[in-house]
Amino acid sequence: MRVLAIDGPSGAGKSTLATQVVDGLTARGCRAALVSTDAFATWDDPVAWWPQLVDGVLRPLAAGVAGAYRQVDWTTGVPRPGELVRVAVPDVLVLEGVSSGRTSARPLLSHLCWLEGGSAAARLARTVARDGAAARAELARWQRFERGWFAVDGTAGAAGTRLS
Q: Which domain holds residue 144?
A: 2-163
Note the pTM of the prediction, 2 decimals.
0.94
Number of domains the chain is built from: 1
User: β-strand 67-69 against 85-87: which pairing, if any?
Assistant: antiparallel
pLDDT at residue 107 tops 90: yes
Tens of pLDDT along 73-87?
777 767 776 678 999
Classify each residue of 112-128 as buried b or exposed e, where b means 16 or more C-beta atoms within 10 Å of its C-beta: bbbbebeebeebbebbb
Is the model's pLDDT at 44 over the cut of 90?
no
Q: What is the DSSP letter of 115?
A: E
Residue 12 has pLDDT above 90, yes or no: yes
* Confidence class for position 45, pLDDT limits 50, 70, 90: confident
Closest CA to 98 of 70, 133, 74, 66: 74
Mean predicted confidence (pLDDT) in 8-32: 98
Per-residue pLDDT averaged across 126-144, rounded? 93
Q: What is the pLDDT of residues 94-103, one digit of tens each?
A: 999 999 999 9
DSSP state of 72: B
pLDDT value of position 76: 72
One-letter amino acid for residue 141 of the chain = R
Return the CATH number at 155. 3.40.50.300
Q: What integer pLDDT is reported at residue 21 of this predicted model?
A: 98
Task: Answer yes or no: are the C-beta atoms of 62 and 108 closer than 8 Å.
Answer: yes
Q: What pLDDT is attached to residue 82? A: 66
Instruction: Kindly report the backbone phi and psi dihedral angles of residue 46, in degrees, each rounded to the nearest multiple of 5, phi listed first.
Output: -70, -25
